[in-house]
Amino acid sequence: MTEWTILGAGALGCVMAGLLRQRGERVALMLSERHRSHFHPSLDMITLGGRHQLIQTQPRFAEQARQAECLLVFTKAYQVVDALTGLQQLPTTAPIVLLHNGLGAAEQVQELFPHNPLIAGVSSHGAMKEGDWLVRHTGKGETWLGPLNEAAHAWAHLVKPLSAALGHAEWSEDIRLHQHRKLSINAVINPLTACHNIRNGQLLEPRYADVLEQLSEEVFQVMANLGETESQDAFRRRLQQVIELTATNYSSMHQDLVHGRKTENDYITGYILAHAGTQPVPVSSQLYREIKRRGG
């Protein structure tokens, strides 16, 4: 049985740790220095049914990276490179699975760890942090893994235990498709909810109809230029479905902005701007600048 080492003890990382432990999987949490003197040995996870469950995991620190068998990275996109830089003792046999929002960090990770199997992951599970070592599982979703380099192809079997723990996990040789489809949703919901200080579901109110339509059009066209084959109607239906399913949730970018944290603006809306080419993207540009102005 592979031990899963989770880097990034935020809401989703902790929920994933909890779901894996519930299935009897071995899980270690790779912690930062600030946790060394006050790490709580038990993680309290509130399940989808509202029950509290205490989750026991093995605490690890950077100098113990050589013990990692499989590394799941749940940090923010802008933290990925710095967090991994401290893990140079990671065995070259250990796969690195990137499960952060946005795109743009994988190329740097490949330079840092050229010999490790590098896997991209996309998950639509919902999670919320409610306190120190208290997290809530807010929604079940799909999880996809796929190879980012040749060495990763040998690790498709990871999806079997993940599927048992998460309810769904599949391997895709075209993981970029799933990354683009998740990013296209995030590039609409996250900046709008962050800038307007609203829950996801409020985007369906009439007052946001015009800006939602304009931003959706911009994001769809950029993704189409990148090779996305999904029709515009299909994209709109998927966007509406996600908004409805997460109606009571606050987006991660909203929460980061509200709590004065750096956002993933550069890896979500910034990715749209970087790949727009000659296509006008005025709404994306305005939202990007506004989030930057507010410190995100």
**For this structure, is 76 an active site residue?**
no
* Same domain assignment for residues 182 and 209: yes
Whole-structure pTM over 0.85, yes or no?
Answer: yes
What is the structure's pLDDT at 40?
61
For residues 113-142, average pLDDT:
93
The one catalytic residue in 76, 140, 160, 182 is 182
Give the range of the structural domain holding residue 223, as residue numbers without chain letter. 177-291
| pLDDT confidence tier of residue 20, bands split at 50, 70 and 90 | very high
Instruction: Indicate if 25 and 157 belong to the same structural domain.
Output: yes
Query: Residue 35 — very low, low, confident or very high, per pLDDT cuts 50/70/90?
Result: confident
pLDDT at res. 262: 94
Report if residue 97 sits inside a domain.
yes
Domain's final residue, options 173, 206, 226: 173
Domain end: 134, 149, 173, which one? 173
Indicate whether 275 and 251 sit together in one domain: yes
Q: Is residue 132 domain-shared with residue 152, that is, in the same domain?
A: yes
Domain count, the chain: 2
Give me 255's structure tokens: 């929460």
Tell me the per-residue pLDDT of 42-93, one tens digit each, with 9 for 90 and over. Answer: 899 999 999 999 999 999 999 999 999 999 999 999 999 999 999 989 999 9
Burial of 53 (0-12, 13-18, 19+ CB in 10 A): middle
The mean of the pLDDT values for the chain is 94
| pLDDT reading at 38 higher than 90 | no
Q: What average pLDDT score do residues 108-119 get?
A: 96
pLDDT tens digits for range 242-263? 999 889 888 999 999 999 999 9
Shared domain check, 168 and 43: yes
Contact 41, 29 (CB under 8 A): no
pLDDT digits (tens, 9 = 90+) for 8-18: 988 999 999 99
134 and 208 in a single domain? The answer is no
Domain boundary among 141, 173, 205: 173
Both 167 and 190 in a single domain?
A: no
| Cα distance from N-terminal residue to C-terminal residue, the chain | 40
pLDDT greater than 90 at residue 39: no
For residue 296, being part of any structural domain is answered with no
- What CATH number did the domain enclosing 87 receive? 3.40.50.720
**What CATH number is given to the structural domain containing 236?**
1.10.1040.10
Q: Tens of pLDDT along 202-227?
A: 999 999 999 999 999 999 999 999 99
Pairing of strands 42-46, 52-56: antiparallel
> Residue 296 has what pLDDT?
80
Residues 109 and 207 in one domain: no
Considering the domain architecture, whether residues 17 and 130 belong to the same structural domain is answered as yes
